[in-house]
Structure 1
Amino acid sequence: MTALNGIVPCLTIDGAKKAIEFYKKAFGAEEVSRKEAEDGKRLMHAHIRINGSDVMMWDLFPEFGMSADKPHGVTVHLAVDDADTWWERAVAAGAIVTMPLENAFWGSRYGQFRDPFGHSWSIGGPLKA
């Protein structure tokens, strides 16, 4: 197993198997590993890699105190080489735009969207001429 460092997002998702497929389509994610729960329906743990960065996830387990409320207050940011390409792929896969992709005042091409599972994501890259 590869050693992890830095900050690694860990997402609680009601439907982690479907989320992995979405992230593959939307971000070109690579599935590193998964561990099924004893019930055979949910994932106890999954590890994907997006643009060289690790993301962990698991299904909702109310029996462990996890809430079904949609996530709030956190945006997972993807720093990429071509924001338009990444953006178009995510939107085509079903991302819901919350802030259109545009050249931002701080010198980045930037936009935000929500995935079908309620998580907020942003994409940023070099300015487009």
Structure 2
Amino acid sequence: MTSQTVPPAGGVVPHINVEGAGDASAFYQKAFGARELSRAPAQDGKRLMHCHLVLNGGSLMLSDTFPEFGVVGQPSTSHTLHLDVDDVDAWWSRAVAAGATVTLALEQQFWGARYGKLRDPFGVNWSLSPKA
């Protein structure tokens, strides 16, 4: 990938910091069919300052943590990235096969939607449901 700037897709664009952003990008490509548009490596040659993915039609920005600049790794406990998808069972199976952990089984919920929650290996919470 290049360090070329690509405008983000979507009104609100999540930007997450994880330990191992390059590995997270590879995981999101495998688990959720993301496509990496660009990346900018850090000066240390090991971490990423920036990575731009397109996932389910929207942008997701990610970078490594940089404790030396006050950006420390903290697993997600108060937020979830949600995906409305065309075939929720296929998306769910692919994410679980890639290594996501089920935190709420994918099933019909009391509000009428088929919905479930996952946690990825980088501590990010995800929820999935079918497009309305």
- TM > 0.5 fold call: yes
Q: 1:1-129 counterparts in 2 under 5 A?
A: 1-2=6-7, 4-125=9-130
- TM-superposed CA distance for 1:126, in Å, is 5.3
Matched length: 127
- TM-superposed CA distance for 1:54, in Å, is 0.4
- TM-superposed CA distance for 1:3, in Å, is 5.0
- TM-superposed CA distance for 1:22, in Å, is 0.5
User: Which 4+ runs in 1 deviate beyond 2 A?
Assistant: 1-5
CA contact (8 A) 1:107 1:126 kept: no
Deviation by residue 1:33-54 (Cα, 9 ceiling, x = unmatched): 0000011000000000111110
Question: What amino acid maps onto 2:76 in structure 1?
Answer: P
Deviation by residue 1:90-110 (Cα, 9 ceiling, x = unmatched): 000000000000011222110
- Structure 1: gaps spanning 5 or more residues: none
- TM-superposed CA distance for 1:4, in Å, is 4.0
Deviation by residue 1:56-95 (Cα, 9 ceiling, x = unmatched): 0000100110122322200000010111010000000000
Q: Counterpart of 1:54 in 2: which secondary structure?
A: strand
- Structure 2: gaps spanning 5 or more residues: 1-5
TM-score normalized with structure 2 length: 0.91
TM-score normalized with structure 1 length: 0.93
| Identical columns (%) | 53
